[in-house]
Amino acid sequence: MTDLSDATGRQILFGGDYNPEQWPEEVWADDVRLMQEAGVNSVTLGVFSWAKLEPRPGARDFGWLDRLMDLLHAHSIGVVLATPTASPPPWMGHRHPETLPRDEHGQTVWYGSRQQFCPSSPVYRAYATALTEDLAARYGGHPALRVWHINNEYCTHCWCDGTADHFRRWLTAKYATLDALNEAWGTAFWSQRYDDWSEIIPPRRAQYMKNPGQVLDFKRFTSDALLECYEAERDIVARHTPQIPVTTNFMPFWTGQDAWKWSEREDVVSVDSYPDPADAWGGQYNAMIGDMTRSQARGPWMLMEQAAGPVNWRGVNHPKPRGLNRLWSLQSVARGADAICYFQWRQSRQGAEKFHSGMLSHAGEQGRTYQEIKQLGAELTTLSEAATGTTTPAEIAILHDWESWWADQQDGRISSEVDYPEVVRAWHRALWEAGRTTDFAHPAHDLSAYTMVVIPHLYLLTDTSIDNLLSYVRGGGTLVCGFHTGTADEDDRIRAGGMDARLRELFGITTLQEWWPLDAGTTVDCDGFRATLWSEELTASAEAETVASYKGGELDGLPAVLRNGRAWYVSTLPEPDALRDLLARVADGAGAAPVLPGAPAAVEAVRRGDLLFLLHHGRDTVTVPVPGRHHDLLTGTTVDGSLDLGRFGVAVLREVGP
């Protein structure tokens, strides 16, 4: 077993993707000089180098990479070495068109961009593993090597005939018999019964709504097919270098991979986090991604990619205002990151991402971006000893599950206004604003360590997960559950009554009459607050306490928020302040206090190990009361009872006694 500490050596990794193949070699010397000045100690090589490493089938050109590995090592810069398998060279698509994906409309997805591979293609897999084998053999012993980075942002999908074969094999393994498959998919509906395995195809373009079970299984299958690609390469590098940790970088909160499942197959969990600088709640988003990744990692994690300035894939791409890159980077450290890395080191001059920022932007060495990077590099060095390897504690867990997401967000659902990640984000934001640090967990995970657990919205819950929730509450836990939860079983079969009977009993619901989704832009009044998106027509049991009722409209007087002992049910989405106040009130009752009571609204407080991070997300100077005496690691000063934080200011405090 190996983990991120094998790569860090108690030094926060700082650096980014490095693509020197885009530049003449004379630039490389300039690169390492500027890296050293900025405190860069880690770069990621080779992410998109397949065509350079294997310019034609079976050829190998390692010379340039040899020189780079040596150059970096000579300057004490470690290497995260990638397998370049995310973007096959043009020769592959040209010579082996069956490696190119087909979309659900049957259209070929061509080369000329990236990720144009069918994950089920044996030809693709053979080329990918052969090159991985040679890379591992050649560089496994190189002293610069710190981490293996497999592929990049696995996200391709394919509906081709080869994928159909693979899907059938996966289904055969899962169901064993066609009867079981027909039962699980409910193919009695609309005459969809399969009589022979050979009839089964991916859910391709159709006249109307598709079979939900087929769609759900195809999402599971695609995540698994990509995972097979990952594991094939991981097994190769792990065989060569059992001591070097392996990762693949997730896209944040992305639908295509079940990251709970994937993260168990990684030594290091890494993620790419790109909050929008123009989003007033970008800091909360970054906190959420950090919390989710830390929970998957069950310890320190790696921020594999972020942007030092603007990205280039939004409609309007806003730069980062002065100080924001530092604030969000230190926030990631606070929430458990032991590696702060970027896409990419030097901004590209050509290619589709030439407007994506780099640590060294088009403005160059004198540019604001690089100057801010230098400052950050120095501060990370200051924090490394104290921060690395330590834990960010959380008393509250937010439950999240990819399978529920996949089952929920299909055609033919109750409301297309419900955007699952946005609902999760609303609940995370409420707790973030309420000053509580949160973990994420799967509904079948052991929850007993948490004071409180919240479910923003889990449409699908397995019997196992329901058992788990019931025993959590029986064991003394406090559970707050959002709308439309526990409706479907693992085959996306609606449970009798529209919600699992044991859950209804838990929350004190006798009958769930109807779901009343709200139109976009409309609200529903409740006692003391307004809510959006959803409401429900419920009948409560005698034991249940109606915490808040609907007011007006068809649901007038019916319960909006129910409580049955330690189990709370929130049948709508309260507006942000109301959800914050509600969850704060439940947390207070459960004994889950804010990290720093009395902190100003814009100041986020997070503990990591024995450090207290104070992160100011506003531009106006505020005074933060901090009981006791502390040492500020960044300024070297002593803080006695309170401190001032300016625009995007950060303090990292350690208690020093009275």
- Return the structure tokens found at 373: 């990077």
* Residue 654 annotated as part of some ligand binding site: no
Classified as helix, coil or strand, 311 is coil
* Residue 118 annotated as part of some ligand binding site: yes
Q: Which residue has the tokens 């990692």?
A: 297
Residue 305 appears among annotated catalytic residues: yes
Interface residues for a second copy in 309-338 (CB under 8 A)?
309-310, 312-313, 315-319, 321-322
CB of 9 to a second copy, least distance (A): 31
**From 54, 233, 266, 305, active-site residue:** 305
Contact between 282 and a second copy by CB under 8 A: the answer reads no
Contact between 585 and a second copy by CB under 8 A: the answer reads no
- Return the structure tokens found at 572: 């709508």
Can you tell me which of 9, 141, 143, 351 binds a second copy, judged by CB under 8 A? Answer: 351
* Residue 155 annotated as part of some ligand binding site: no
Pairing of strands 529-532, 573-574: antiparallel
Interface residues for a second copy in 122-151 (CB under 8 A)?
none
CA distance to 34, 151, 176, 275, per residue, from 170 (Å): 50, 23, 10, 36
Contact between 121 and a second copy by CB under 8 A: the answer reads no
Q: Which stretch binds a second copy (CB under 8 A): 9-17, 114-122, 242-250, 331-339?
A: 114-122
CB of 50 to a second copy, least distance (A): 4
Q: Which stretch binds a second copy (CB under 8 A): 112-120, 140-148, 246-254, 261-269?
A: 112-120
Can you tell me which of 1, 173, 280, 520 binds a second copy, judged by CB under 8 A? Answer: 520
- Nearest Cα to Cα of residue 305 among 64, 13, 615: 13
Please calculate the CA angle 141-143-144 and round it to the nearest 5 degrees: 115
- Nearest Cα to Cα of residue 586 among 541, 540, 545: 545
Can you tell me which of 27, 74, 137, 352 binds a second copy, judged by CB under 8 A? Answer: 352
The dihedral sign for the CA sequence 292, 297, 301, 306: negative
Residue 153 appears among annotated catalytic residues: yes
Distant-in-sequence, close-in-space partners of 646: CB < 8 Å, separation ≥ 6: 616, 621
Contact map string, positions 354 to 393, toward a second copy, x by CB under 8 A: xx-----xxxx-xxxx------------------------
Phi, psi of 82 (to 5 degrees): -95, 145
Contact between 193 and a second copy by CB under 8 A: the answer reads yes
* Residue 152 annotated as part of some ligand binding site: yes
* Burial bucket for residue 405 (CB in 10 Å: 0-12, 13-18, 19+): buried
* Residue 158 annotated as part of some ligand binding site: yes
Contact between 514 and a second copy by CB under 8 A: the answer reads yes
Q: What is the spatial distance between Cα 469 and Cα 330, in angstroms, rounded to a whole number?
A: 34
CB 291 within 8 A of CB 334: no
Compare residues 412 and 657 and give the one whose CB is closer to a second copy.
412
Can you tell me which of 5, 129, 172, 187 binds a second copy, judged by CB under 8 A? Answer: 187
Q: What is the spatial distance between Cα 285 and Cα 275, in angstroms, rounded to a whole number?
A: 6
Contact between 498 and a second copy by CB under 8 A: the answer reads yes
Q: Which residue has the tokens 């999908």?
A: 157
Helix axes 63-74, 26-38, angle to 10 degrees: 30
| String of DSSP letters for 252-272 | TT-TTS-HHHHHTT-SS-EEE
Q: Which stretch binds a second copy (CB under 8 A): 179-187, 237-245, 430-438, 587-595?
A: 179-187
Contact between 108 and a second copy by CB under 8 A: the answer reads yes
Compare residues 130 and 593 and give the one whose CB is closer to a second copy.
130
Compare residues 97 and 627 and give the one whose CB is closer to a second copy.
97
Interface residues for a second copy in 401-420 (CB under 8 A)?
411-417
b/e for 368-404, b at 16 or more Cβ within 10 A?
Answer: ebbebbbebbebbeebbebbbbbebebbbbbbbbbbb
Contact between 521 and a second copy by CB under 8 A: the answer reads no
Can you tell me which of 10, 27, 33, 55 binds a second copy, judged by CB under 8 A? Answer: 55
Contact between 640 and a second copy by CB under 8 A: the answer reads no
Interface residues for a second copy in 229-258 (CB under 8 A)?
none
Contact between 177 and a second copy by CB under 8 A: the answer reads no
Compare residues 26 and 657 and give the one whose CB is closer to a second copy.
26
Give the residue numbers of the binding site: 114, 118, 152, 158, 160, 313
Catalytic residue annotation = 153, 305
